[in-house]
Amino acid sequence: METLQIRTTPLSLEDAVHLLRRATYHPTYQATKALVGLTPSEASAKLLADPVPPQPDLAWANTVPNLQDFAANARLWPEMQQWWMSRVLSVPHVHEKLVSMWHNIFTSDYINVYIAQWLLNQHKLIRSNATSYATLAEKMVGDPAMLRYLNGELSVKGRPNENFAREWFELFTLGIGNYTESDVLEAARAFTGWRINGVQGVYSRQLADTGTKTILGKTGSWDWKDVVRITLESDACCRYVAKRIIKQFVEFYPTDEVVSNLQKIVRDANYDMNVILQTLLSSEYFYSSAVRGALIKSPAEMVVGLASVLGARGVQPAYAVATMTKLTQEPFYPPTVEGWKGHHAWITSSTFPQRQRFAEAFIDGRQAGSSAKLLDADGKSLTPDVVAMAKQLPDADDAVKLVANMASLMLAVPVTKKQLDVLLDIMLAGAQVYEWNINSPSATQRIKFLLQAIVRMPEYQLT
Amino acid sequence: MKRRSFLRSAGIAGATVSTLPTLINSFTVQALAGGDPRLHAMLEEQDRILVLIQLFGGNDGLNTVVPINNPQYYEGRPTIAIPKNKTLRIHDDLGWHPAMKGFRGLYDQGQLAIVQGVSYPNPDRSHFRGTDIWLTATDADVLGSTGWVGRYLQTLAPGYPTELPAHPLAIQIGTQTSLGLLGSSGTMGISFRDPEEFYRLVNGGGGSAEVPSSEQTDTPAGKEIAFMRNIAKSADVYAQVVKQASDKAGSSTADFPTSDLAGKLKVVSQLISGGLKTRVYLVSWAAASFDTHANQTLTTDPTLGIHANLLTELSEAVSAFMAEMQAKGHHERVAGMTFSEFGRRVAENGSTGTDHGTAAPLFVFGSQVNGGVYGANPNLQDLDAIGDMKMQHDYRDVYASVLLQWFGVPSTQAQQLLYKDFSTTAPSIFKALPTSVEDHQRTSQMFLTVAPNPAAHVVTVRANVAQGSNAVLKLSDMRGKVCGTAILDGWTGVGSIDVSHLSEATYIVTLEDGPRTTHTFVNVSR
C-alpha cells in the first residue's frame, strides 16, 4: 500500500475528483469527467503537463519601492493579495497548489517585509521556481523579502544574527532534530554578507564571514552557497521535503515508511516536483481509501473549491481574501515563521461555524453573516446557478441519483445510506420522489437546500 | 434564534449533550450546597481562575527584569542594555524595564511574583519546539500530545466531551486552539474573539436540516469527523452561555487601553464578572512577537523600540485587568501567569537585537499571590557553551505551584499531570487555599479549630456547640460521598475522624448541631 507502487486501475469518478481536490483548487464536475477512465499515470501527466497560463503583472510591479511612506506601501498590500487570489480563483493548475505550499515553507509577511515590491518579487520567485525546490531554496537565501523578514540584511560578520540560519535548518530544509546549535551558529556566519539594494539582494564577499566552519559535520571555508549545497545534499533534507509534500497532497500523519519511500524519489529526482508528483499522484498510496478525506480543507480550498464546483465565476478576489482572512488564512500573512499549521488548526469553535456560514450564504448568493448580495467584479449579482450545476450530473431528473451524485462530487468521504436518505428528504422538502422535476421553478430552492445541508456537514470540511 | 441549529447541522443531534452543573473541583455546587447559601458562597470562593498570557517569540528576560549592577550585562549589551538610572526599582540589584509601570505597581502591592531563571534541562531554542515543551509540560526530549492545562481540566470533567460541564472549562480569546488546552480526547476549551460574534456564528445558520453523522470509524477521515463533531458540540452548547455572561457583565470600571492584549483581557474580565465558571483563560498577541532578533531597541534610546512597546502593552493590559477584577470583587479568585518559550542570549547580536536564549523570568500576579522575587539574580558569569543562562527553576516547578497551591490539586495528581514530582521544588507563590477555619470565619462560625490541616491520619475538630448536644461531624469527598462520621463530645466540643484510609484530596467537613449546619474544608496529604 505504502510502497508508492503505481496504480494501474483506471480512474473512477471518485478517484478523479480526489485527484483534483488534492492537486488543484478546482474539483469541478467537468474537470473530473475529463479524467475518468484514464490511468492514474495518464491523469497526473495530463495535469502536470497542462501549460501554466501567463499572468498579467501588477502595474506597480517594477516601480521603485517607497522606503519611507508607510501608507503608500500599505495600499499595495491588498492589491497584491487580490492579485494572487484572482490567480488561484481562475487557474485550475497544480502549479497554484505548489505555490501555496512553498509560501507556507518559505514564509514572509507584509507587516515585517513592509515593502510590497519585495514581497511581490518573492512571490514571483516562488512562482517561477515552484517545480524545483533546489533552485528555490538557493534563490531564497538572497531574496530581499527574506533578507528583511529574517534579518539577513542586518547580520554582520563577527556578530551574526541567527534568525535566518535557524529557520533555514528548522523550517526550510531539515526539520528539527537534524542539526545542532553549533550548525546554527556556523551557518549564521556563512549567511553574512547580504544587503538589499533597491529590489535586489546583493552579496559581498568582503562583508561575509568566509572563515573555516563546520556545517552538518563538514569542515571548510564555507560561504552561503556551500551551506545550501551541504544542506540539500543531506538525506534529512530529502526526507523533510518528502514529508511536507505528503502533508500537502496526501495525509497529515504519514508513516515513517511512506516518508522514506518518497524520500528516495525526492533524492533521485533531485527535488524536481514534476517528477516527484508524477509518481506520488499516480501511486496506490495516493488512491488508497485510508487517505480519502484525511485532510482538512484550507480556507483557500474551502472558498475557491466551493465557488468552482458551483460554477460561480467572477468571485471578487477581495471577497475571497476577506473570507480567507476570517478563516485565519490571510494571504501574505502567516501567523508565524512556521507558516500555517494547517489541518486541525483550521478548525476551532469559531472557524468551524464561520466556514458553515460562509458556504451556506455563498450557495444563496449572499455574503456570510449578512443579507447583502454577493457581487462579481462587474458589480452584478453573483448567485450560483445551482440548477445548471446539477444538470451537469447524470440523471439529474432522478432525485435519488442526483443526491448521490452530488454527495460524491462534494464530499471526500462516502456517505451512508442514512445520510443519503436525510439529504434526499431535505431536497424534496415534503414532495415525493416521483414528483422531482429538475425543470420545475421550485428546483432551484430545493437544490440550494441540498447543497446547504451538504456544506454544513463536518464531512464537507474534509478533502 | 435557532440555538440548536448548529448542533443539528453538524450532524450530531444524536449525541447526548448532557450538561452537567457547574464544576468546582470536580463536584457540583448545587448537589453539595443544596439549599445552604453559605456553603454555596464558600464553594464559589473555591472557584479559582487562572489567566495565562503567552509571550510568543521568546521574551528577553534580561531587559524586562534588569540586573542593574551586573557588569556582564552591560558588557554584553553595549547598545541595548537598559541604563540603571532608567529602571524602576525592584531592589538594590534589580530594576524593571521602564515600560513595566503596571507590573511594578502590582509588585509594590505585593501582588506579583517574579520567578527568576525559568527554563528546563537541555533547553530547546526553536520557537515551535520550545512552545510545545512549555505547553505539554514534558521533558525536552519527549514529544507530548496533550497540554498540561488540558490534562488538569480533564480531571475535572472525566466525561468530556460526551458530557459537557455547563460552562466551558477553558477559553482562548482568539482564533487559535492551543496545544496547552488539548486533553486526550480533544481540546478542553473553546476559542473566540468576541462573545457576540461567536454567538452569531454559531446561531446564524439558515437551515434546520439535520444530516446524521456517518458512523465513527477508525480511518483518518473518521477521526477528523469525530474531531469536528466535538468542536461543533462545545461551540453549540457554549455560545449562549458565553453571551449570557458577557451580557450580564455590565460595563468595565477600569480603563482598558485600546491594545490587542488589553482588548482580550477585557473580554476575559467581562466573562468573569458575568459569572462564567471557566477555570482557565488563555490570551496572546494576535500578531506581535517577542522574537527581537533585530531592532529590539532604538539605537538612540535603549528604553524605546519594539520590545518596550510590547512590554508596555503587557504591563498596561495586566494592570487594567487586575484593577477591573478588584473593582468587581473577583480579585481574590483570579491569578495570572505569563510564559514564553525561552529568554534571549546575554550578548546582543550585531543587529540591535538578541538571538534565542534559555532561562528567563516568569511572572505570576494576583491578590492571592505572595509577591516578591523567587530566585537569585541571573549569574552571567556561569553561562552554557553557547552563552546562555542556566536555569534556576524548572518551568514545571511553577506549574506545580499553580496546580497544588492555586487549584488545590493533591500532590499525587499533580505528579501525574506533570509526569514527574515537582512538589518539593514548587515555590510557594500562592497564599494558602482557604481550607482553614480562619479563612471561613463568616461562613463557619461554629468551628474553632480543624487540625492538623493538612491532615495525614486523624483530623480533630473543636467546635462551638450547644452544651450537652450531640453534634454530628461528617467528612465527605468532593463528590458529596460521606467518608467518615463522628459524634462531637457534648461538653468539650471535640471530635476526631480517621482519615488515614482516604486518598490525598480536599474534603468537606460538615457539622450538624441540631438545626445548625456549617461546613469547612480539610486537606488530606501525606
Q: Per-residue pLDDT tens for B143-177?
A: 999 999 999 999 999 899 889 999 999 999 998 89
Give yes or no: residues B469 and B391 share one domain.
no
Dihedral sign of CA atoms A194, A196, A200, A202 in order: negative
How close does chain A come to B98, measured CA to CA in Å?
26
User: Domain boundary residue among B354, B387, B418?
Assistant: B418
User: Which residues in chain B touch residue A328, judged by CB atoms under 8 angstroms apart?
Assistant: 175-176
| B499 in contact with chain A, both atoms CB, cutoff 8 A | no
User: Domain boundary residue among B383, B418, B453?
Assistant: B418
Specify the amino acid at residue B250: G
| A360 in contact with chain B, both atoms CB, cutoff 8 A | yes
Give yes or no: residues B300 and B442 share one domain.
no
B431 domain residue, yes or no: no
Backbone phi, then psi, for B152, in 5-degree steps? Answer: -65, -45
- Are B293 and A161 in contact (CB < 8 Å)? yes
- A9: exposed, middle or buried (Cβ count in 10 Å: 0-12, 13-18, 19+): exposed
Alpha-helical segments (H) within A191-337 = 224-233, 235-249, 256-268, 273-280, 284-287, 299-309, 317-326
Q: Which of B190, B192, B295, B349 to mutate to test the interface with A (most CBs of A within 10 A)?
A: B349
Closest CA to A423 of A392, A454, A398: A454
User: Which residues in chain A touch residue B356, judged by CB atoms under 8 angstroms apart?
Assistant: 162, 166
What's the total number of domains in chain B?
2
CA B55, CA B86: separation in Å to the nearest integer? 24
Give yes or no for a contact between A175 and A240, defined as CB atoms under 8 angstroms apart.
yes
B253 domain residue, yes or no: yes
Q: What is the mean pLDDT of chain B?
A: 87
CA B125, CA B191: separation in Å to the nearest integer? 28
pLDDT, one tens digit per residue, over A349-395 is 999 999 999 999 999 999 998 889 999 988 999 999 999 999 999 99
User: Which residues in chain A touch residue B210, judged by CB atoms under 8 angstroms apart?
Assistant: 422
Closest CA to A194 of A185, A203, A183, A206: A203
Give yes or no: residues B71 and B156 share one domain.
yes
B460 domain residue, yes or no: yes
> What's the pLDDT at B522?
83
- Are B202 and A351 in contact (CB < 8 Å)? no
C-alpha cell at B349: 547580536
Give me the residues paired with residue B53 across strands: B283, B338
User: Which residues in chain A touch residue B215, judged by CB atoms under 8 angstroms apart?
Assistant: 416
pLDDT, one tens digit per residue, over B185-220 is 899 999 999 999 999 999 887 655 578 877 767 889
Residue holding cell 500555517? A340
Residue A5 DSSP code? P
Residue holding cell 472557524? A351
pLDDT, one tens digit per residue, over B77-120 is 999 999 999 999 999 999 999 999 999 999 999 999 999 999 99
Alpha-helical segments (H) within A110-222 = 110-113, 116-128, 133-141, 144-149, 163-167, 181-190
Using CB atoms, pick whichever of A150, A253, A456 lies closest to residue B209: A456
- Are A294 and B219 in contact (CB < 8 Å)? yes
How close does chain A come to B349, measured CA to CA in Å?
5
pLDDT, one tens digit per residue, over B30-81 is 444 444 555 555 555 558 999 999 999 999 999 999 999 999 999 999 999 9
User: Which residues in chain A touch residue B340, judged by CB atoms under 8 angstroms apart?
Assistant: none
DSSP labels for B404-470? IIIS---HHHHHHHHSS--TTT----BPPPS-STGGGTTT-TTEEEEESSSBSSEEEEEE---TT--
B433 domain residue, yes or no: no
Give yes or no: residues B408 and B471 share one domain.
no
Which region holds residue B122: left if phi is over 0, alpha if psi is between -120 and 50, else beta? Answer: left
Backbone phi, then psi, for B333, in 5-degree steps? Answer: -115, 15
Backbone phi, then psi, for B171, in 5-degree steps? Answer: -135, 130
C-alpha cell at A190: 556563512
Percent of the residues in chain B that have a pLDDT greater than 90, as a whole number: 68
Which region holds residue A293: left if phi is over 0, alpha if psi is between -120 and 50, else beta? Answer: left
Give yes or no: residues B410 and B448 share one domain.
no
Which helix (H) or strand (E) element contains residue A426?
Answer: helix A417-428
Dihedral sign of CA atoms B161, B163, B166, B169 in order: negative
B425 domain residue, yes or no: no
User: Which residues in chain A touch residue B232, judged by CB atoms under 8 angstroms apart?
Assistant: 352-353, 458
Say yes or no to pLDDT of B436 above 80: no
Give yes or no: residues B276 and B240 share one domain.
yes
Give yes or no: residues B148 and B222 share one domain.
yes
Give yes or no: residues B225 and B373 share one domain.
yes
B432 domain residue, yes or no: no
| B421 in contact with chain A, both atoms CB, cutoff 8 A | no
| B102 in contact with chain A, both atoms CB, cutoff 8 A | no
Low-confidence ranges of chain A (pLDDT < 70): 1-2
What range defines the domain where residue B520 resides?
438-524
User: Do β-strands B23-24 and B27-28 pair in parallel, antiparallel, or remain unpaired?
Assistant: antiparallel
How close does chain A come to B176, measured CA to CA in Å?
7
Give yes or no: residues B379 and B450 share one domain.
no
> What's the pLDDT at B207?
59
ipTM for this prediction: 0.95
Nearest-CA residue of chain A relative to B221?
A294
Q: What is the count of residue pairs from A and B with beta carbons less than 8 Å apart?
A: 198
> What's the pLDDT at A127?
97
CATH number at residue B456: 2.60.40.1220
Q: What is the b/e burial string over A197-223, where b = at least 16 CB atoms within 10 angstroms of the residue's CB?
A: eebebebeeeebbbeebebbeeeeebb
| B355 in contact with chain A, both atoms CB, cutoff 8 A | yes
Give yes or no: residues B145 and B237 share one domain.
yes
Closest CA to B48 of B334, B328, B325: B334
Nearest-CA residue of chain A relative to B231?
A349
Q: Which of B224, B260, B384 to mutate to test the interface with A (most CBs of A within 10 A)?
A: B224
Give yes or no: residues B402 and B261 share one domain.
yes
Backbone phi, then psi, for B149, in 5-degree steps? Answer: -70, -40
Residue B121 banded pLDDT, cuts 50, 70, 90: very high
Alpha carbon distances (Å) from A385 to A317, B181, B381: 20, 43, 73
Give yes or no: residues B214 and B294 share one domain.
yes
> What's the pLDDT at B213?
79
pLDDT, one tens digit per residue, over B312-346 is 999 999 999 999 999 999 999 999 999 999 999 99
B347 domain residue, yes or no: yes
B429 domain residue, yes or no: no
> What's the pLDDT at B208?
55
Which helix (H) or strand (E) element contains residue B266?
Answer: helix B260-273
